[in-house]
Chains A and B, each alone.
Chain A
Amino acid sequence: MDRVDLLEIIAPGILASVQDTGRRGYGPIGVAPSGAADGYACRLGNLLVGNLEDAAVVEITLMGFEARFRYEAVVALTGADLGAGLNGDPLPMWTAVKVAPGDILSFQTPVCGCRAYLAVGGGFSVPAVMGSRSTNTGAAFGGHDGRALRAGDILAGRRPEAHRHCAGRAIPAALQPVYTTAWTLRVIPGPQADQFTPASHARFYEAVYAVSEKSDRTGVRLEGPVLDKRPEAPDSILSEGIISGAIQVPGDGQPIILLNETVTGGYRKIAAVIAADLPLLGQLAPGDTVRFQETNISEAVALLRQVEAAVDWVRARYAD
């Protein structure tokens, strides 16, 4: 058998779940993409250990995660610097590392960012449901038994032979994202931007918003200046399709940046984060600050090309 018991969860911490690059094509039946909140970190982690970019990884949130390897493997930890250690020694990030049975992955104190990704050579073996291994916790399917990971869960993987040669690979510093606690997100005005007052527009682009404790994988909730609709605008809009990065404003005037767990919504969108900045949304931690900067589509596409060029470089560099 090719499958082996690979990782035993000792403690899931705040939230840990199996994710990949998401589930596509089921929007018409209300199924959101799910997937890694930071898709860039997930993809690069997989490339480091010799996987396709969309292999299943474990998404780890902020603090408290601890797990024991039960088999030899090549792993890479990408995304947020949460103070990772292997058997108590600092574990290099963005680097493929060989681990042995009994090795323990744990985290000390978060340094910056919100979510780290554990990729393993061969990928975590959970069944694909509707074309993806991502966990849809709301509807309880996908990932590991359709739920977040718990203490005692054991994730299976592949035998490591085909991935041993990946150990030592690293992402060059220039291609590693720069995480901060004071973020600037680039946005394009949303489909209902004209339904907000001019003063609200000014506030939205000038203000510094704080990331709320209530943020989760559904959305980044912000606290700051209230955004008002124009008096003549309707109280609500009819539900319509939504994408991650859409910034909706409910009745209390506090913006919410949607992540990958929503497919339709009935709130006005003042703006939407550009595709190049979407991976950052997964790294906004409670207490961080956010500013919004308006851009246009041609600039957004140029920025996305840079992101994809980085992934292309890594893919070409480590093509087997």
Chain B
Amino acid sequence: MPPVIRHLGDRGLLVELGTGIDPAVNRRVQQLQRRLARENPIGVVETVPAYSSLLVIYDPLQAAPELLKRRITALCRFDAAPPPENHEVHAIPVVYGGEDGPDLETVAAFHGLTGEDVIRLHSGRVYRVYMIGFTPGYPYMGELPEALDTPRRDTPRTRIPKGSVAIAQRQTGIYPVVSPGGWQIIGRTPVELFDARREAPSLLAMGHQVRFIPVSAEEADQWTG
């Protein structure tokens, strides 16, 4: 199926490869990003992958959008099965509840569960990193068990501490730097998700796998990764 390509101003093409939070679509996004990087068409400045779309930012003085669209469409001929992925699973320690996860009990009450149930459900599966966005290194991960599908807070917080582990709808994420945000905070990790001085500033990347490990506050303090 050819992609839907929409204009974002005179220097962006938004390539939609499907809809919804779907690992197969997300892998196509990643595949297209790699193919574009390999072809490196003149005038393409940067690409930004997301759940089901790839934003191609271009210099309109170097690339004609209609030609670029045709080139992108040609790169979207995918085989039946996307290439296999073999990413290591990142183990992310989390101190759940209490001051570290002020919304844990609210989330539990919302679903008629106990805090322990929420911890067990959240740490009980491996998540895919669908995209990094919002702030440097912020991973959008899914899918959360249906039993934890929780709306965002009515009033976003203005200051969420670094390392906060949060959920919203069927997604889970980690705030790598202090920022405002509206997700439900259920825990905190001591792991540094983003450090501009590292050679790879972001610990996580699209396509990576993450498992949360419940730990005590003392264990978190001693965590060295």
Chain A residues lying within 8 Å of B136, measured Cβ to Cβ, are: 26, 29-31, 136, 138-139
Interface residues of A in 225-244 (CB under 8 A from B): 238-243
Q: Do A264 and B134 contact each other (CB < 8 Å), given the known contacts A301-B61, A308-B61?
A: yes
Taken together as a complex, chains A and B put the C-alpha atoms of A26 and B55 apart, in Å, by 13
Chain A residues lying within 8 Å of B177, measured Cβ to Cβ, are: 138-140
Taken together as a complex, chains A and B put the C-alpha atoms of A238 and B140 apart, in Å, by 11
Whether the Cβ atoms of A30 and B137 lie closer than 8 Å is: yes
**B18-38: contact bitstring with A at CB < 8 Å (1 yes, 0 no)?**
011100000000000100000
Taken together as a complex, chains A and B put the C-alpha atoms of A78 and B147 apart, in Å, by 56
Chain B residues lying within 8 Å of A304, measured Cβ to Cβ, are: 10, 60-61
Q: Which one, B11, B48, B61, B196, contacts A27 given CB within 8 A?
A: B48
Chain A residues lying within 8 Å of B52, measured Cβ to Cβ, are: 238, 240
**A93-105: contact bitstring with B at CB < 8 Å (1 yes, 0 no)?**
0000000000000
**B59-101: contact bitstring with A at CB < 8 Å (1 yes, 0 no)?**
0110001000000000000000000000000000000000000
Which residue from chain B places its CB closest to the CB of A190 in the assembled complex? B8
Interface residues of A in 282-317 (CB under 8 A from B): 297, 300-301, 304-305, 308
Q: What is the number of residues of chain B that contact chain A, defined by CB distance less than 8 Å?
A: 46
Whether the Cβ atoms of B14 and A191 lie closer than 8 Å is: yes
Interface residues of A in 8-49 (CB under 8 A from B): 24-31
Q: What is the number of residues of chain A that contact chain B, defined by CB distance less than 8 Å?
A: 43
Which residue from chain A places its CB closest to the CB of B53 in the assembled complex? A240
Which residue from chain A places its CB closest to the CB of B12 in the assembled complex? A243
Q: Do A242 and B132 contact each other (CB < 8 Å), given the known contacts A28-B47, A272-B12, A300-B60?
A: no
Q: What's the least CB distance linking A160 to chain B, in Å?
A: 31
Whether the Cβ atoms of A263 and B48 lie closer than 8 Å is: yes
Q: Footprint of B on A, CB under 8 Å? A: 24-31, 129-130, 136, 138-142, 146, 187-191, 238-243, 245-246, 263-264, 269, 272-275, 297, 300-301, 304-305, 308
Q: Footprint of A on B, CB under 8 Å? A: 6-12, 14, 19-21, 33, 45-55, 57, 60-61, 65, 131-138, 140, 176-177, 179, 194, 196-197, 201-202, 205-206
With A29-B137, A30-B136, A238-B19 already in contact, 13 other A-B pairs whose C-beta atoms are closer than 8 Å: A26-B201, A28-B132, A30-B134, A188-B7, A238-B20, A238-B21, A240-B55, A241-B47, A241-B50, A243-B8, A243-B55, A246-B8, A272-B9
